[in-house]
Amino acid sequence: MDILTITDRFGKVVQRTNRPDVFGDDQSADPLVSRALRKETVTATEIAPRPELLKESPDFAERAYLQFIPTPMAAARPEDHEENGMMLKGAAPILDEQGKVLGVLYGGILLNQNYEIVDRVKEIVFKGEKYKGKEIGTVTIFQNDLRISTNVTDAQGNRAIGTRVSQEVHEAVLRRGVPWVGRAFVVNHWYITAYEPVKNIAGEIIGMLYVGMLEKPYIDLRNSVMLTFTGIAALCTVILLIILFFITSSITNPLRRMVLATNRIARGDLNHQVRIGFRDEIGQLSHSFNQMTENLKLANENLIQWGKTLEKRVEERTKELREMQDYLLQSEKLRSLGKMAAGVAHEINNPLTSILINTHLMLEKLEKRHEFYENLSLIADETSRCTQIVKGLLEFARQNPPQKVHTNINELIDRTTQLLENQASFQNVRIVKELDPDLPAIKLDRNKIQQVFWNLLLNACEAMPKGGQITISDSLAADKKSIDVRFADSGVGIPKENVNKLFDPFFTTKSSGTGLGLAVSYGIIQQHDGKIEVKSEVGRGTVITLSFPVEDHRPDSTQKGGPYE
C-alpha cells in the first residue's frame, strides 16, 4: 500500500507509516473512517484532496498533479490542471476483547501515474497479444475525464497521461452514468472501446475505467474477406459472362446488326440496307425493315422538296410584307409631312417675298460703300435661300400625278448626265455609263424621273469631295418584269444607322441641305410603282438601285424607245 494509517476511537490520527511526525489530525469526517468507527469494514475508490496527500507524502501530491494536455473533441473545462488524487482505499475497525472500538486502521493505493493495475489488467485480458508490432489492447483509469493511469501511448511512444476523453463519452458516462461501448479514436488510433463509470462509496461518479481493443486487425480481416469474396464473385461473373456470350451470340448478332442499321437510319443514312442470310423470322424482319427504309427514303425526299418550296414561299411572302410595310409607313409619313409642309410654305411665302422685295429696294437706294449695304445684302441672300427652301417644301407637298409617256430609259440617263457633266462640281468626277441598248421602253414622267436622276447624281458627287467615279448601269431584271437602274459611287459611304433615314423628309448630313431631295425622289418612284434599294459601306461607296415596272404590252411592239421630249 501507498498509505497505512491508524486512528484512535475518535478518528484522530495516531500513527502514519509514511510520516510518523504528522499525527493528531481528525479523520472522522472521512466517509470510510466514519463507517469503520461504526464497526464496518469498507473499501471504495475515493478522491483524495491535495491537502490530505501532502499529509501522507509530498511525493503523492506531486504524482497527483497533472497539467491538461489539449485533446481534440474533449469537453470544455475551466481548469487547466488536476491536483487531487484518485485512491483505492479501505478501512477496518480495531476492536478489543469485548468488541469495543479502539480505533481504525485504513490504507490505500494512489492510482495517479500508477501503471501496475492497468498493465496487469491488459496482461490478463489480452495476454500480451500484438498486431504488426503494436499492442492490440489498452486499459485506462480516468479521474473524472482525465487519464491518470493508462498504457495508451502518444505519437512519441509515451503514456498519454494528461489527455482527456471525448465529449461524447463524457456526456454518456460521467453525466448520465451509463456504460459507453463503440468505435472511438483514442489519441492516435481507432479502437473498439468500452467505458464504465467509477463511483465512490456514496455512489457519486468520480471517474471511468476504459478497456479498448485495436480496430485495425478486424478492419484488415474484413477487407481481406471482402477482397476474397469480391475476387470469387468477379471470377464467377466472368465465367458466367463467357458462357452467356457464347449462348446468346447466335441470337443477338442479327439483332445487333438491326440496331446498328436503325442508328444509321436515325442519323439520316436512308441508303443503308440490312444483310441477313437467314430465312427464318429474323430474315423476314430484315426484309420488312429494308422495305420500310425505302419507303422512309421516298417520304423524306418528298418532305425535303416540300420544305424547300415552303421556305421559298415564306421568304417571298415575308419580303413582300416587309416591302409593303415600309411602303405604307413611308407613304403615310410623306402624306402627313406633305400636308404640314404645304401649310408652312403658304404661311411664310408671302412674308419672305415682302422681305426680299423691300431689301432689294433698299439696296438700290444705297451705295455699295454705305455701312448697311453688306448687312442688307446678307439679308437678301438668306431670304432668297429661305425662298428656295419654301419652294422645295411646295414641291414636296404637291406630289402632282405623273404624266407618263413611253420613254427610252437610256436616252433619259444620257440627257441628265449631259446637263451635269459641264458643271464645276463635276470637274473631278468621272461618269461611266454601262447601259443595255436592248431595253424596252417604259411609261415614265420624264421630267420627274430626270429630277430623281439629277438628285442622285448630285448626292453622289457631294459624297466624293476629292473626286472619284460614278457608274450608271441598267438592265432587265431576271423575271423581265422590271428595269433596274444602278448609281454606284466611290465616295465616303453612308453609316449603317443612317441608311434607313435617307428618304425621311428634312434628314440631311450636309450643312447647307434641306433634306427634301431624296424624300421627293422617293415619292416620285412610288408614284411610278417602283422601288429604291440602298447598299452602302463606309469608306467604299454607295449603290442605289431604282426598279421601274415593265408593262406586258406596248403600243408598238417594234419600238425600243421614243425620242426624248
Most confident of 300-309, 340-349, 426-435, 490-499: 426-435
In this prediction, residue 45 has a pLDDT band, given cuts at 50, 70 and 90, of: very high
Which cell is 125 given?
Answer: 485480458
Quick check: 545 pLDDT over 80?
yes
Within 10 angstroms of residue 152's Cβ, the number of other Cβ atoms is: 21
In this prediction, residue 424 has a pLDDT band, given cuts at 50, 70 and 90, of: confident
Domain spanning 401-565, CATH architecture: 2-Layer Sandwich (3.30)
Quick check: 179 pLDDT over 90?
yes
116-214 and 3-110 share a CATH fold: yes
Quick check: 555 pLDDT over 60?
no
Q: Which CATH number does the domain 270-399 belong to among 1.10.287, 1.10.8, 2.60.40, 3.40.50?
A: 1.10.287
Sheet holding 189-199, edge to edge: 146-150, 137-143, 205-214, 189-199, 180-186
Kindly report, residue by residue over 127-160, the tens digit of the pLDDT.
Answer: 878 887 777 888 999 999 999 999 888 778 788 8
Q: What's the rounded Cα separation, in Å, for the pair 500 and 488? A: 18
User: Where is pLDDT greater, at 210 or 391?
Assistant: 210
Closest CA to 122 of 150, 87, 148, 147: 150
Give ∠ CA 71-76-82 in degrees, rounded to 5: 75
Quick check: 511 pLDDT over 80?
no
Contact 111, 148 (CB under 8 A): yes
Q: What is the CATH number of domain 116-214?
A: 3.30.450.20
Quick check: 396 pLDDT over 70?
no
Domain spanning 3-110, CATH architecture: 2-Layer Sandwich (3.30)
Q: What's the rounded Cα separation, in Å, for the pair 224 and 335? A: 96
In this prediction, residue 553 has a pLDDT band, given cuts at 50, 70 and 90, of: very low
Domain ranges of the chain: 3-110, 116-214, 270-399, 401-565
In this prediction, residue 385 has a pLDDT band, given cuts at 50, 70 and 90, of: low
Owner of C-alpha cell 473545462:
77
Q: What is the CA radius of gyration of the chain?
A: 59
Contact 441, 406 (CB under 8 A): yes
- Over residues 59-75, the mean pLDDT reads 89
